[in-house]
Chain A
Amino acid sequence: MVSTPSATLPRTLPPSRLPAISPLSFTILVVVGALFLVSMGQVAPSPEKLANGLPRMAELVGRMLPPNTEPGFLQRMGWRILETLQIALVGTVFGVIISLPMGWLAARGISPLGAFRHFPRALISLFRTVPDLVWALLFVSTLGLGAVAGTMTIVVDTIGFCGRFFAEAMEEADKKPQEALHAIGANRVTVLCGAILPDVMPTLINSSLFALEKAVRASVVLGLVGAGGIGQELKVAFDLFQYRNASAIILAIFIIVLAMEFLTDRLRAKFQ
């Protein structure tokens, strides 16, 4: 009788069904779980609250319909929408332009600042982590009410967003052309313009279009704190209980954001 290989080999148990977990990981999981349960009890809506709120929501929606289509109001809203788009466009363009050198100065292995590249990186992080409404409040306080404060907010917000992505894209750019140009004595600026930027251009365009899309959404709400744009009109409508005006504005915002997403998607596909 011939013995099968399985009969002769030593018996080995299969690995455990669940991955091993360290005591530290287990403790963290328990703490996070407990925090979630406690928070849910304090801030999550209860079924009764939701049930009471629904009729009020239905009543509000009823007062919002039909949206106001009076020519005078539509004309005023049209100007505000144009202002909103202007804030988004000008703020994004300036933000992208400033993000290029900021990203370069912050990029690891490329920045001419060496270890001091952490300063521009920290500045970019500051711009990104402080919410845009807070920046808007700051600029309204310093520059006054209106579109200029909104534009400045979008500039800062775009630097925070694009600065980081530009720096990361530059760090990941193909090193071989850079080495070839460095070897013949090209300086850092010409290596940036000649090798790095062309290599990462699709990423830069992509990030810039995302920034524009983001800026349109942000500039819509900046008006709530007095930084110009259609948001200002929306706040007035709610403050004066003009709900039909508010619904027309919300509809316009929806169309603008949708159109911008469609446009930037098409542009992104083109530049891939």
Chain B
Amino acid sequence: MERVPTEHVPVPPLAGLRPANTGNPEIGPLVKSVAPVLAPQIIGARGLAKTYPNGQAVFAGVDLDIRADQRVALIGSNGAGKSTLLKCLIGLLPSTHGEITTLGERFMAAPSAAQLTRLRRQIGFVFQNHGLVGRQSVLTNVIQGKLGLPGSWRAFHHALARQEWREEAMAVLAEVRLADKASARADQLSGGQAQRVAIARALIRRPRLLIADEPAASLDPAVGRDIMRIFSELARDHGITLVYTTHDMQHALDYSDRIVALKDGKVHFDRPTMRVSLRDMDGVFHG
């Protein structure tokens, strides 16, 4: 297990290419021999497989290369292994085979405790069920997003938190349009509002990578679209790489730059969203 540099790693050409030094298209490249410069790698997986202890294979032979600033939708039908793959990629679940490099931490199976600590400090999480503490205020829930960061033990309640964290929490709440609910109890919020608080709680960590597991699955269609739009815009505005799972085809098409489809334990396709047709999507869920 080791740390690897994340800047400008040459990798095989996959999605995530950022065209650089292209010069004037009429007169050609300024320097002909310069290779394309890639955005830093955020997640890399080679030959990844996961089998449960009962012998049930979830996925196998998964190769992934997710680059900075991408918004990646991981799609597949229920039970396709999307959430399991996501958890393996960030070290929350051990994989059975293969190598993972996430945010510069390279590991087989599971990261070491030190690697996991470093990973967690750079990742924001949003869960389908939002995971808010119902009897705490919205402000406290957002500030709790700081837990796990160095010197964060006071972040379990807003009354004890540092003043700059309280101000930061109010700023991210304003970004999700919930600053006026700072004093409200989390269990008094609607499903959409609770999910927006969960997004604020993830953003206050200033993560490099935002992971969302079915963030809109338990919401009605209009609220779900609103949540996905907020996600997508905030990730783009803050320069955060966004990886989310969904089984909603339209969410994947509307709010991602790239779609990775899982089917029958394999990557069915992995391409830029603009090159994914509805027929491709239909093949993932029904074909």
Task: Answer yes or no: B221 CB below 8 A from chain A CBs.
Answer: no
Chain B contact patch, size range: 20 to 34
* Residues of chain B lying within 8 A (CB to CB) of residue A189: 153
Task: Answer yes or no: A198 CB below 8 A from chain B CBs.
Answer: yes
Which one of A100-108, A129-137, A163-171, A175-183 is at the interface?
A175-183
**B131 x A176 contact (CB < 8 A):** yes
* Residues of chain A lying within 8 A (CB to CB) of residue B125: 180, 183-184
CB-contacts of B102-123 with A (<8 A): 116-117, 120-121, 123
Q: How many residues of chain A have a CB within 8 Å of chain B?
A: 19
Task: Answer yes or no: B4 CB below 8 A from chain A CBs.
Answer: no
Partner of A179, one of B131, B145, B147: B131
**B133 x A194 contact (CB < 8 A):** yes
CA distance A176 to B136 in the complex (A): 14
Task: Answer yes or no: B127 CB below 8 A from chain A CBs.
Answer: yes
**A177 x B133 contact (CB < 8 A):** yes
Q: What residue in chain A is nearest B126 (Cβ atoms)?
A: A180
* Residues of chain B lying within 8 A (CB to CB) of residue A199: 133-135
* Residues of chain B lying within 8 A (CB to CB) of residue A176: 127, 129-131
**A198 x B133 contact (CB < 8 A):** yes
**B153 x A190 contact (CB < 8 A):** yes
* Residues of chain A lying within 8 A (CB to CB) of residue B165: none
* Residues of chain B lying within 8 A (CB to CB) of residue A201: 135
11 contacts between A and B (CB under 8 A): A180-B127, A180-B198, A183-B127, A186-B144, A186-B156, A190-B147, A194-B133, A194-B136, A194-B140, A194-B157, A199-B135
- Residue numbers of A with Cβ under 8 A of B are 174, 176-177, 179-181, 183-187, 189-190, 193-195, 198-199, 201
- Residue numbers of B with Cβ under 8 A of A are 92, 116-117, 120-121, 123-125, 127, 129-136, 140, 144-145, 147-149, 152-153, 155-157, 198, 205
